[in-house]
Amino acid sequence: MLNTADMNERIRRGLSILQDYIRSGANINLTDASVTSEVFVCGLLNRTFGWELRDVNTSQRNYPCIDLLAEKAKLGVQVSTTNTSEKVNDALRCLQRQPAPLPITVLKLFTLVPKQRKYTVRVICPGVRFKPQDDVLDFHTVIKHVDRSTIDRVEAVHDYVVAMIPQAFASEAALRREQASALAMMLALFDRAVLHDPAFAENPLRMLQSLRELRIDLQRRGALRIGPPEAATLFKDAVRVIRECEIDVASQFPNVAREAEREGQQQGGYSNQTWAEWHGAVDRMMQVRTPLSPILADLESMLEQLRA
């Protein structure tokens, strides 16, 4: 499951990509982008602010002045690819010209491109509130509001954006698959007897060799540079744990360390060791399992998230 910061970042990315697409389309009069965006903006605002907007153009073709309506809140929203003061004044003039007042007391303009810093409003429509600083919205307005929202609201907006703009996350999905594959390969390196067998079955010479091979394999295969960065940090922690164990064995049980480096030690090769050294070395290397266990658990959890 993604955390709040990750979901907010994906919301920003998706909305930024959509905004850039619409902005380029507006420059070449790509009106289809505006039409399809009305439906998208309706769902986005409902999830962001908890409104109950509906697209009025689905029930009445060319509904005047507004595109979205929340009857209970008496809120109307016009969606546009134009972000100018004149567009705001045109919307208010439209409301003035209606033979019968529309069922709204608040008008908002949602601009699909970044809004201006200031607006000059020259038209007043009696009975309808419009304050540019509050009632001109854009995608950045949504992002700022979601940043301050509850986790449930962040999840709702995130899931909606991902579902409605899947192309914005296509490359991300491919990257996640690559990262999951690399992470699974690195985790498989830990499937060694030294990390699983009971103490009575362990041989300190083979244990030390296996731990050394594991550390070298992780370093050579790029575990310390793997993505996401959090995984690389965990692998660095694992390598540090193993290296500290190797140093302790070499310092406290030098005969074990020397024998482990000699060829053919598996046929015996421990004539210079005492039983105290043998069992002491085993005990020390068994201890790596304790700090490695939460590290591996976090990596497994990360793998599940990448595969989700």
pLDDT tens figures, 140-189 = 999 999 999 999 999 999 999 988 888 778 777 787 888 999 999 999 99
Q: Mean pLDDT check: name the lowest of 69-78, 184-193, 234-243, 268-277.
A: 268-277
**Pairing mode of beta strands 75-80, 106-111:** parallel
pLDDT at 230 over 60: yes
pLDDT digits (tens, 9 = 90+) for 27-39: 433 344 444 788 8
Count the residues in the chain: 308
83, 86, 87, 92 alpha-carbon torsion, rounded to 10° = 140
**Quick one: pLDDT at residue 163?**
87
Q: Mean pLDDT check: name the lowest of 74-78, 135-139, 269-273.
A: 269-273
User: Between helices 151-164 and 4-27, what is the axis angle to 10°?
Assistant: 40
Rounded CA gap, 23 and 113, in Å? Answer: 6
Contact 37, 20 (CB under 8 A): no
Sign of CA dihedral 170, 172, 174, 180: negative
pLDDT at 265 over 50: no
**Quick one: pLDDT at residue 276?**
86
Rounded CA gap, 229 and 216, in Å? Answer: 20
- Residue % of the chain over a pLDDT of 70: 92
Q: How far is CA 259 from CA 107, 193, 235, in A?
A: 82, 19, 28
**Quick one: pLDDT at residue 1?**
57
Structure token digits, residue 279: 């069992």
pLDDT at 110 over 90: yes
Rounded CA gap, 110 and 99, in Å? Answer: 25
Q: What is the pTM of this model?
A: 0.59
pLDDT digits (tens, 9 = 90+) for 59-72: 777 789 999 999 99
| Mean pLDDT within 278-282 | 92
49, 51, 57, 62 alpha-carbon torsion, rounded to 10° = -80
